[in-house]
Amino acid sequence: MQLSKSTEHYISYFIDHFSKFYTKSPKHKQQELDNIYKKFFFKLVAAEKAVKALKYKNGSLVKIVNEEDIPYTELLNSNFIPDYIKKYINSRAIYYIVFNNKIAGKQITIYFVLFKNSDIMNIEHYESYVKLMLMWLHMSGLNTTHCLKQLKIYCYMTSYLKVLPGSILTTLSADNCNSAITYSCKENNEICIYRKEEFFKVFIHETFHALGLDFSRVNDKKLNDNLKSLFPIKSKININEAYCEFWATIINNIFVSYTLLDHKKINDFILYLDFFNNFERIFSLFQMYKILRFMGLFYSDLYNNTSTSIYLRHHMYNEETNVFAYYIIKTILFYNYEDFIILCNSMNINTFRFSGYSGNLTRIYDFVKKHYKNPKMRENMIDIKDIYNELIDDDKKENDKLQVNKKHTKKNNRKIIGTTRMTLTEL
């Protein structure tokens, strides 16, 4: 598997600006981080061996003749899934592939529902996904979770992308920001993924809920209320979603880095992982800036106590899904990802699985409070604004038939200006 064309394309927008956002960590911090990365590397090696030992079966390809043939989950009835996507699934599905496996004595069933004949010619790609999915489930500590006995994963691989609304009068909702849904820590659980975009990262995010790797075992109301004192906006501020999205992004990069290695050398793995994490830091800032710009806001308007900022956030900030968690809190965590990984490693048993101690919620709040006004981050927000304005200027130049970067045409610029995907990196 290789990087997707979308990833390569999006990276091209930021590669020339990389040095502005990169800060070399002090030696002691980098050593601590490298030791954590090494643990992940050895867990991946062990997971790959375990999955090979499963001798997991190739998927069974099944033709869909009637709507009743489509693998169905009640999660499809959720209001989080746009009606036009539900209709597309029910009317356009042509085949599905099903994989059945057991990990740690738990039954895992994976369905890929396909909509294009070209997908049928690329079954090996889905088999590669299954290998990575099983590796992650093994690595996640599935054998120690009490959350489930059986997991069914429904992957409706539609081509619908997450994009900004066409009108600034439209409030950001699940249509623009969400890709999947699951139940939290349920014995016979299901995951429903309804977009191909960001598929593997989204899968990891949902497993944080399904396997109880998140805050579901503790009451995080006080934490969310405290965060609201920092950011007095119209949002429920569900930091649990930010935590899951942060770790889904890191773990996705871990798998991408490992998969791209021709020879599984640990130093190369660390180099790749740092590379992708730094690009995700830039992309998270870009997406945060763009989301707030769509609302008519700057980041400082979310917390400043000037009369202008108070007025703007009160009247302009709106959301119908966890926008603040996905794009704002997650960016604060990811901009400081080295420190947050080290913090999680110190307070959790296996780094990413949240330990159900309420004091750890306080530590996360203290982390956000310490870093949300990071001077370097605010400086980089100006750099992001300049990058964004360059894209707008290129559009104007193309309209006026002036010289522009041939890779960054008006059509391509509109993709990166319009996308609301949360991560840059995918296979």
Judgement on whether residues 152 and 225 belong to the same structural domain of the protein:
no
Among 127-141, 163-177, 274-288, 394-408, name the one with the lowest average pLDDT.
394-408
Q: State pLDDT tens for residues 293-313.
A: 999 999 999 999 999 999 999
Rounded to the nearest integer, the mean pLDDT of the chain is 94
Question: Among candidates 132, 416, 122, which has minimal Cα distance to 256?
Answer: 132
Task: Note the pLDDT of residue 402.
Answer: 42
Judgement on whether residues 245 and 305 belong to the same structural domain of the protein:
yes
Give whole-number Cα distances, 155 to 249, 274, 331, 360, 393, in Å: 19, 30, 27, 34, 39
H or E, element range at 392 = helix 375-399
Judgement on whether residues 175 and 94 belong to the same structural domain of the protein:
yes
Cβ within 8 Å of residue 108, ≥6 positions away: 100, 101, 102, 134, 137, 150, 151, 153
Q: State pLDDT tens for residues 5-59.
A: 999 999 999 999 999 999 889 999 999 999 999 999 999 999 999 999 987 667 8
Judgement on whether residues 178 and 228 belong to the same structural domain of the protein:
no
Q: State pLDDT tens for residues 97-115.
A: 999 999 988 999 999 999 9
Among 21-35, 202-216, 408-422, name the one with the lowest average pLDDT.
408-422
410 pLDDT more than 80: no
For 278, half-sphere exposure in the C-beta direction (CA atoms, 13 angstrom radius) is: 17
Judgement on whether residues 361 and 372 belong to the same structural domain of the protein:
yes
The residue out of 177, 199, 217 marking a domain boundary is 217
Judgement on whether residues 243 and 345 belong to the same structural domain of the protein:
yes
Please state, for a pLDDT cut of 70, what percent of the chain lies above it: 96
Judgement on whether residues 207 and 343 belong to the same structural domain of the protein:
no
- The answer to pTM > 0.85 is yes
Q: Identify whether the C-beta of residue 285 lies closer than 8 Å to the C-beta of residue 331.
A: yes
Q: For residue 348, name the pLDDT band (cuts at 50, 70, 90).
A: very high
Task: Tell me how many domains the chain contains.
Answer: 2
H or E, element range at 111 = strand 106-114
Task: Note the pLDDT of residue 393.
Answer: 78
Question: Among candidates 216, 169, 171, which has minimal Cα distance to 189?
Answer: 216
Sheet of 188-193: strand order equals: 60-63, 95-103, 106-114, 150-156, 188-193, 180-182
226 pLDDT more than 90: yes
Q: Which residue has the tokens 């249509």?
A: 175
Judgement on whether residues 44 and 60 belong to the same structural domain of the protein:
no
Give whole-number Cα distances, 267 to 38, 40, 189, 261, 307, in Å: 9, 12, 38, 11, 51
Handedness of CA 166, 172, 177, 178 (dihedral sign): negative
Task: Note the pLDDT of residue 217.
Answer: 82
Give whole-number Cα distances, 4 to 24, 231, 256, 374, in Å: 28, 36, 11, 33
Q: Identify whether the C-beta of residue 312 lies closer than 8 Å to the C-beta of residue 301.
A: yes
Segments forming the whole domain that contains residue 33: 1-48+218-427
Judgement on whether residues 264 and 176 belong to the same structural domain of the protein:
no
* Of 305 and 349, the one with more pLDDT: 305
Judgement on whether residues 309 and 374 belong to the same structural domain of the protein:
yes
- Describe the crossing of helices 358-371 and 337-347 by its angle, rounded to 10 degrees: 160
Cβ within 8 Å of residue 117, ≥6 positions away: 94
Judgement on whether residues 79 and 170 belong to the same structural domain of the protein:
yes
Q: Which residue has the tokens 């429920």?
A: 236
Judgement on whether residues 284 and 342 belong to the same structural domain of the protein:
yes
